[in-house]
């Protein structure tokens, strides 16, 4: 259930390779990287069940739709299995719901061009009101995405139990909910799962699993 996040802008190739080895050792769901690291992760994870995930328009979500779709297409062509796109939350807060829907749809359609690839929509809840969170979840579902995700981990705060519960309530039992941002302990992971998350994004993945084992 854990996406092993390697998104710090200072990570080196060696850091990425180490993260891939950890993902293989611990059986993580995916390794999440910025687009330029996708080819390296694809190479390191070949012939394994661990997915390659690339973030898109990260961490602000303010790229144009054309930029987002091109970035997603490139990542997919280079081996990405999953796409975590940052929603344009500025547009949502400005009342441009149709634009937000179209923006997400553009990436979803790109991910469906040849075969079905998973798309997670990062809402960045710390900047949204409750009504905006509800609307964002509804737009992600309407756009045909697979998951809604709480946070980038680079905003003013990360995942909360309350947000996960709210997201699960809005999207229903079959849609994906990913909790990410500030999750560093086993206790937090279990709380997020209990609240309704079925995927966890963390950079402290190894220490979390080691805590579980002990």
| Rg (the chain; Cα; Å) | 16
Cα separation, 3 vs 178, whole angstroms: 9
pTM check: above 0.75: yes
The catalytically annotated residue of 51, 68, 81, 84 is 84
Q: What percent of the chain shows pLDDT beyond 90?
A: 97
Examine the residue annotation and report whether 178 is marked as an active-site residue of this protein.
Answer: yes
What is the extent of the structural domain holding 94? 2-213
CATH classification at residue 10? 3.20.20.70
Cα separation, 189 vs 140, whole angstroms: 24
pLDDT for the residue numbered 115: 83
* Sequence-ordered list of residues with C-beta below 8 angstroms from that of 126, at least 6 positions apart, any chain: 151, 155, 156, 157, 158
The catalytically annotated residue of 51, 68, 120, 178 is 178
Q: What percent of the chain shows pLDDT beyond 70?
A: 100
* Sequence-ordered list of residues with C-beta below 8 angstroms from that of 38, at least 6 positions apart, any chain: 52, 54, 75, 78, 79, 80
pLDDT grade, residue 210 (50/70/90)?
very high
Report the domain count for the chain: 1
Examine the residue annotation and report whether 46 is marked as an active-site residue of this protein.
Answer: no
Asked if pLDDT for residue 36 goes beyond 90, the answer is yes
The catalytically annotated residue of 68, 117, 133, 149 is 149
Examine the residue annotation and report whether 84 is marked as an active-site residue of this protein.
Answer: yes
* Sequence-ordered list of residues with C-beta below 8 angstroms from that of 5, at least 6 positions apart, any chain: 32, 153, 180, 201, 202, 203, 205
pLDDT for the residue numbered 114: 81
**How do residues 103-116 score in pLDDT, each as one tens digit?**
999 999 999 998 89
């Amino acid at each position: 259930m854990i996406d092993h996040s390697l998104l710090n802008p200072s990570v080196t190739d060696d850091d990425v390779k180490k993260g891939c080895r950890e993902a293989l050792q611990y059986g993580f769901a995916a390794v999440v990287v910025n687009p330029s690291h996708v080819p390296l992760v694809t190479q390191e994870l070949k012939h394994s069940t661990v997915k390659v995930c690339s973030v898109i328009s990260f961490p602000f979500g303010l790229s144009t739709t054309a930029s987002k779709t091109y970035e997603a297409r490139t990542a997919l062509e280079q081996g990405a299995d999953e796409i975590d796109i940052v929603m344009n939350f500025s547009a949502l807060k400005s009342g441009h719901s149709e634009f937000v829907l179209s923006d997400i749809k553009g990436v979803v359609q790109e991910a469906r061009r040849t075969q079905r690839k998973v798309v997670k929509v990062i809402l960045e809840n710390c900047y949204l009101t409750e009504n905006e969170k509800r609307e964002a979840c509804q737009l992600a579902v309407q756009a045909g995405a697979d998951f809604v995700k709480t946070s980038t981990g680079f905003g003013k705060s990360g995942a909360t139990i309350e947000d996960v519960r709210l997201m699960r309530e809005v999207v229903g039992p079959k849609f994906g909910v990913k909790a990410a941002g500030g999750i560093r302990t086993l206790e937090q992971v279990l709380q997020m799962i209990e609240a309704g998350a079925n995927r966890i994004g963390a950079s402290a993945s190894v220490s979390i699993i080691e805590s579980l084992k002990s």
